[in-house]
Structure 1
Amino acid sequence: MPLLSTCFPRRVEDFSNFEKQNGVKRLTILFILALAFGQAQAKVYFVKQGGQGDGSSWASALGSLHQALQAAVYGDEIWVARGTYFTTSGTNRSLYFQIKDGVKLYGGFAGQELAVSERNVEANQTILSGEIGTPSPDDNAYTVVFTKNVSAATVVDGFIITGGTANVQAEGDVFTPESCGGGWYNIAQNGTSSPVIKNCKFIDNHAREGAGLYNIAENGSSEPTIEFCQFISNSAKLDGGAIFNGAKGTGAVATGQIKNVRFEYNTADYGGCIVNRAFAGQVNPMIHKCNFSNNRAKVRGAVVYNDFSNGGQSKAVMFNNITGSNNVSSVGEPVSSRSGVSAQQGY
């Protein structure tokens, strides 16, 4: 009996407090166990050119990035060693690297590191390439990287993205990877798509619109974070040589942040670097601490061009940017807007 009395409350009125206290303890224990279980389930997949293993270590690395992307699930990481990885070993232009929600993809490894912090992105160039088929860009992959309705837990960090050529002649307001987003196509469709893109270089990509990166919200919200990246020598036939931000649908919103990014030698008819266009809905990205030089718009907006239709609203919030020399537009200033649209500037 004394033993029982030390384990249970002696009075009936104390039993409620006992249950509350121990209920909290049980919930805490369950939470810790669930967290530990989730962490135990998260994996790191290792990818290295020539690898023939199961991806469990550098010594047993996978040779196929596609295989790692297919196996990875939310919370997993993929570490990719230096080298060039193509969208396909064949000639199918419609294939791309699709990043799932919550997967973190890191490049820049030599192939023996034990932590992401040990990698050297500049020394170990890790290239995602759409250069397939003949040496001509005309038969390259339409899009190199693809994301759809992914959260901010989705990270791509430390890659050169190059060779995408979305050159299909689409008519009207058609937003497909075949004509938009040569480097990267990000779409929020009846949801939100907010990938985090860091330490990446978008080089020599081509498209009708958004040659480097195409963000579109179709009755959703496109909110990527792009930081410490470079967009160099990307070319759009119409809009957004480097980046195109678009919203389609009255409730669609394209926001996100572009910060600490360098734009150089990008070209387009409108928005040599960035076009923000609302096909109904709102487009209002924040652009800050970016450097723009040697970009060209054949018509308007060598740096940024804002546009709207169907009652949409478009406004880039810009501050602490540097617009160097030789950002050339045939008409107007490097930051330009359709009548009735404004850009908040604070260089």
Structure 2
Amino acid sequence: MSFPTRRLRRLRTSDKMRELVQQTTLSPKDFICPVFVQEDLKTRTKVESMTEIERLPLDDVNDEVGTISDLGIPAIMLFGIPTQKDEAGTSAFDDNGIVQKAISQIRENFGDKMVIMADVCLCQFTSTGHCGIVQGNKIDNDTSLDTLSKVAVSQAKAGVDTVSPSAMMDGQVAVIRNALDDEGFSDVSIMSHSAKHRSNFYSPFRDAAECAPKFGDRKTYQVPYTNAREAMMEVETDINEGVDIVMIKPALSYLDLIAETRRRFNVPVSAYSVSGEYALVKAASQLGYVNEKDMTEEILYSIKRAGADMIVTYFAKSASRFLQES
């Protein structure tokens, strides 16, 4: 029996050979780092379910963004926790709200050296904890659209580069695009959480952002994780409404949808490696079950390999340090 002439191991003989033929690359430039800023907070506060993640007072935001920038990460995603919440989520579109203040402060101090993105949702700002406006124990889609457009415009006034609607209301991209254009913010881009699934991987985020729903759940507006074709319809709808960047969320359990989005659509594709993905790795590494560096890199490489152009991830800072050490 003759030995096969193709020996794939020839291209794995050394570190340098493996680097030469490496097909997927990963760098800090691929990351978007989430930042939590809390109104009236005096000192940094640890998020118990997410090791090394903190809620920041406004006074500490510039230092945090400076650290992120020094690591070579080009973008942040701001999430705000207000002092006051009501059924209408009015603090979300207050020009003096916590997110708006953070945007203005970062823009003043960093200019164009950091891409400032901000979440456009209501769950952190409503007393109900839902992503839209509740009327009669039902999330009212069209009333929510009006509020979401106000949030986006207020963030644009503060100096945001990219608004990132995550409420999963039908028509949210079109309404926000029209509102931004009408107010003269045609250069502000939209990165929609296009296929945001009703996932169990979000639990630590609700601890971080204090946004667990006070009743019911989010199954009526987030995509069922059983429905791949429905997810693609959500992505296609956002593209038709004028989105600039689409997102699949979560990432690790949805690599097939990232790959399918990349295959079908010629638009920038983002993936959100969510809080549960981060918390599982951190917890397992603390118990000595896995190597944190190796596990983190493998997860992020898999997301890039699937087709994501950029990754929103809580691993952004630690992964950037790991990559610099490699």
TM-score, with structure 1 as normaliser: 0.28
Higher relative contact order (CA 8 A, sep 6+): 2
Going by fraction, where is helix more abundant, 1 or 2? 2
TM-score, with structure 2 as normaliser: 0.29
Q: Higher Cα Rg: structure 1 or 2? A: 1
Going by fraction, where is strand more abundant, 1 or 2? 1
